[in-house]
Amino acid sequence: MTEGRIPRAHDTREQRERPKVWQPASTLPEPEPMPGYNLRWVRVSSYGQNDPRNISGKLREGYEPVRIEDQPQFKLLIDPDSRFKDNIEVGGLLLCKIPTEFTAQRAAYYANRTKDQMESVDSNFMRENDPRMPLFREKKTKTTFGTGV
């Protein structure tokens, strides 16, 4: 029975493609991923006004501008009047990279700060608690099933 069958891997069934639909181009092109780095567009200007505070803050955090040699598909998108020569700037945004270790450390830092703030709010709230009239009661739910009668 299996003698005349064609293996599924060799089956050349035609696939139908959906018709392509026009959609507007993305404002920012998608860069190629770089191993060991996270990429981000950083604002260097807005409405023609430079934003040195934002870019200098990001550079102090550990971001580095991506050079055009690292992402050669952006050669045609380079702004000739850009202050950042040999880097990728599109519409007032500069493509920057940061090591993945830094982003993990930053996420852990902010998670710890959030946890500390929540503990502070909870302890401040619970300080006003009175056992005769509790402000906060641990809610416990119990699920029961019917007897099936």
pLDDT, tens digit, 9 for 90 and up, residues 109-147:
999 999 999 888 878 777 777 777 666 656 567 777 777
Q: Give the start-end residues of each E strand in 85-133.
A: 89-90, 93-99
Task: Tell me the C-alpha distance between 43 and 56, whole Å.
Answer: 10
Mean pLDDT value across residues 39-68: 91
Query: What 8-state DSSP symbol labels residue 4?
Result: T
**CA neighbours within 13 Å on the CB side: how many for 57?**
7
Nearest to 94 by CA among 56, 126, 121: 56
For the chain, domain boundaries: 38-97, 100-128
pLDDT given at position 63: 94
pTM for the full model?
A: 0.63
Q: How far apart are the first and last CA of the chain?
A: 53
**Angle formed at CA 93 by CA 49 and CA 37, multiple of 5 degrees:** 145
- Model confidence at 23: pLDDT above 90: no
pLDDT given at position 134: 66
- Model confidence at 10: pLDDT above 70: no
Mean pLDDT value across residues 80-99: 87
Mean pLDDT value across residues 15-31: 80
73-78 CB contacts, 8 Å cutoff, 24+ apart: 73/29, 73/32, 74/29, 74/31, 77/29
Q: Which residues make Cβ contacts (< 8 Å) with residue 28, sequence separation at least 6?
A: 41, 90, 91, 93
